[in-house]
Chain A
Amino acid sequence: MRALSRSTLGGAALAAILLGAAGAGAAPDGVIRVGSKSFTESYILAEVAAQIIEQVGEARVERRVGLGGTGLTYRALESGAIDLYPEYTGTLALVLLKDASLATPEAIRERLRPGGLTVSASLGFVNTYALAVRADAAERLGLRTIGDLARHPELRAAFSSGFLEREDGWPGLRARYGLTLARVEVMEHALTYRAIASGQVDVMDVFSTDGQLERLKLLLLDDDRHFFPDYSAVLLARREMTERYPRTWARLREVLEGRLDAARMARLNAMADLDGRRVSEVAAVFLGRAVPAGTGRGREILAELGSLTMDHLVLVLVAVGVAIVLGIPMGIVAARHRRTGQLELSVIAMLQTVPALALLMFMIPLFGIGKGPALVALSLYALLPIARNTYAGLIAIDRTLLEIAGVLRLAPLRRLLRIELPLAAISIMAGIKTAAVTTVGTATLAAFIGGGGYGALIVRGLALDDTATILAGAAPAAAMALAFHALFELADRVLVPRGLR
C-alpha cells in the first residue's frame, strides 16, 4: 500500500499546486468577467456587454469567451469563474433548472435568487431551435412543416450533440411528431452547414436568428405543433456582481433589454458569419460607436498569434513539466512495487481513456475555468506516457547490473540516479517526447474552458464557420508539434548517455 499512498499524495500535491494557479472563486475587485458559449450570437452579445461595461467604467472587463456548451458555461458562472454571460430562457427553464413551468424571465429570476444568480429581462428577440432543410429540397419533397418529415424517413439528419440529447431537442421533438428518420448523426454545428450545403445532410438543427440561413438558402420548417419553447435571450449574471456594480448592471439592462429584435440579431450574426467582420466591430456597430477602419479578421489574428503562441507554449511546457515531476517518481514507485504499480498505472491509463474534452469539463467545478484547470487536465493527460515509460525502462534493466550495484554498496539514491535512471533514459525520453507532442495537440482543447492558446482560434473559427481562422489555429499547433519533436531529437543527444546510443 505504500506505493498507493505515495501516488495519492502525488495527486493531492498536483491538485494543491494547480488550485493556486486556477484562481477559482470570486472575481478580484474592479474586474467583471464576461463569458460566452462558443457560437457567434453568444460571442456578439458577450462583446456588446463587455463594451457597455467598459463605457460605464465602474469596473474593468476580462473576456472569457467561447467556453463551449451550456453546461460548461453555466458551471463557470456558478463557480464564480465568470460573472455574466448571455443565455436563453428556454435553456434556463428546461436544461438548467429543469422546470418547464418557468416561462418568463421574472419566474426564472425568482428561482435563481437562492443560488446567487439573476437574469435581465428579455433582450427582445427569440432565438428558438428550429429544423432547417435546403430550400430546393423542400420544394422537391413538399416539406413545409416538421410534421412533413414523417413522410420522408429516408432523409439524413445531422444534429449538434446538445440538440440530440436534450429533452427539449430531438428526443422530445421526435416523440411529439412521431418522426422516424433513419439516419441521425451527431456533428459539430459549424461543420453541418457545410454538409447540408453540399448535400451530404438533408436536415439540421439551427437557431432561428442564424446569420447563415439566408446565404445557404435554408428553409425553416414550421413548428406547427408548438414543440419548441420560447428561447428569449437574456443576460445571466451573478447577483454579487450586480450588487457591487449597480450602475453597470442598470446600464446593461437599459441598453440591451427589449432593444434587439430577431431581424437585427440575424443581421449582426450575418455581419460576423458572412462578412467576416470582427466580433468587437459588430458589437461597436450595434452600440453606434465608431469602428476603427482597415482592420479585418486576418490582421486581428496575426496580431494575436504572438500571444497565443506564448499561451500555448506555457500550457505545453508547464503541463509536461508537471507530468515529468510527477510521472517519473510514479514510474519509479511502480517499478519498485510491481503489484501496486500495476494498479497505479491502470488508474493513470483510465484517466487517459476519459475524452480530453470531458476531462477539461470535470475541472470546472473543481478549479473554475482558465489556464489553471486546463493545466491540471493536460498534466493528467501527459502523465501516462511518462510514468509508463519510466516503469518500462526500469524493469527492463539487466538484473545482474542491479545486483552489482548492491555488491558495490551504492546507497539507494545513488543507485537510482547514477545507475537506474541513466540506464532507463532512452525509454523515459521517449515517454516525455510522446507526452510533449501529444500535449501540443490536446492543448488546443484548453480554449474550450478559457485556457487560451491556439485552440482559441479553432473554437472561434468553428463558431464563425471560418476555415481560415480554424487553420490559423491548427497550422501553428502542427508546426509546434514538429518543432517539439525536432527539439527532443536534439535533447536525446544530450540526455541519453553516450555509451547507450
Chain B
Amino acid sequence: MIAVQEVTKRFGATPALDAVSLTVRSGTTHVLLGSSGSGKSTLLRLILGLIWPDAGSVRVDGTPVEPATRDGLLARMGYVVQDGGLYPHLTAFANVALAAEAQRWAPARIAARVGELADLAGLDGAMLRRYPRELSGGQRQRVGLMRALVLDPPILLLDEPLGALDPIVRAELQEQLAALFARLAKTVVLVTHDIREAARLGQAITLLTGGRVVQHGTFRDLAERPASPFVTQFLTAQTVEMLGSLPGSPPGARTGG
C-alpha cells in the first residue's frame, strides 16, 4: 500500500502539489489523471524519492520515503517513462539487464530472465540485440517495461508510458498492459492525461488539477457522480477532442449522442 498524506511540494513560489492525500491499495492499478501541470508526475517522483516533499509524508507499505530508506524502497519499485527512457548506447538486452547486473546476477540467470520478460511483454527475441533507435516506439516501450520488471518488483510506477505512441499502437498496448497488470498482481501507479487509458486500466482514479485532488474514485464514479463541474468538463473536453479529430466529422457534431 502506498499512502500519500497531506503532501505539499513547491518549485520556487508556485506549488506543484498542495496538501494532496491519496491511498493506493496493494495489487490494484491506480491512475493519476490530469492535464499537464496538474502535479501528477510530481506525485510519482515523490513516491520514487527522486524529490522530497516540503510538507506531508509518503509511505510505501508502512515505510516512510526518506533519503535513508530510499534505496531499500527502490528495490521494490519499477519505473517506466514516456518512450521507454532507454539508454541509446546500450542494446535492448543490455538496457533490460542493467538492474540485474547491478545486483550481480549470473549471466545465465540474466539471460533466462530477459527471455521470460520478452515473452511476457510480447517482444520478438531478435529485437533484443538492437539499439533503441533501431526499434519502433511500441517496441521501445515494451523494452522499458521489461527493464522495470527485471527484478520482479511488487510496485510498478509508470509516467505517461504510452504518451509517445500513435493511437493504434497505443490502444493495442493499453489492452496488453491491462492483461499484464491483472496477471502479475502488481501494485501499479500510472500517470496519464488520457481518460480512455484511465478508464481502461484504472481500478481507481485520482483526478488532479493545479496541484490539488479534484476527485478520487472509479471511472464510473467520475462519470456519473462528478465531484465538481470541472470533472465533467475534463471528461467531455477530451471526448469532444477525440471525436473532433475523426476525419469527416465537424467538431462537436456528435457530442449530443
Contacts and interface: CB of A to CB of B under 8 A. Distances in A.
Interface in A386-426: 400-401, 403-404, 406-411, 414, 418-419, 422-423, 425
Nearest to A415: B102
Interface stretch (A148-156, A347-355, A476-484, A493-501): A493-501
Interface of B: 48, 50, 71, 74-75, 77, 79, 81, 85, 87-91, 98-99, 101-103, 131-133, 147
Contacts, number: 54
Contacts of A409: 71, 74-75, 99, 102-103
B102 A500 contact: no
Interface residues of A, number: 20
Contacts of B79: 404, 407
A425 B102 contact: no
3 nearest CB pairs, A to B: A499-B131, A497-B89, A408-B99
Which of B85, B89, B99, B147 has most A Cβ within 10 Å? B89
A499 B98 contact: no
9 contacts: A401-B87, A407-B48, A407-B79, A418-B98, A423-B88, A497-B88, A497-B90, A498-B89, A499-B91
B89 A425 contact: yes
B133 A499 contact: yes
Interface of A is mostly: helix
A13 B74 CA distance: 39
Contact of A499 (B71, B75, B88, B147): B88
A404 B132 contact: no
A134 B132 CA distance: 74
A408 B101 CA distance: 10
Given A418-B98, A422-B89, A423-B89, A498 B77 contact: no
Which of A400, A403, A404, A423 has most B Cβ within 10 Å? A404
A408 B133 contact: no
A266 B102 CA distance: 76
A410 B102 contact: yes
Contacts of B75: 409
B71 A400 contact: no
A409 B48 CA distance: 12
Which of B77, B88, B133 has most A Cβ within 10 Å? B88
Interface string A15-42: 0000000000000000000000000000
A138 B118 CA distance: 93
Given A498-B131, A499-B131, A408 B89 contact: no
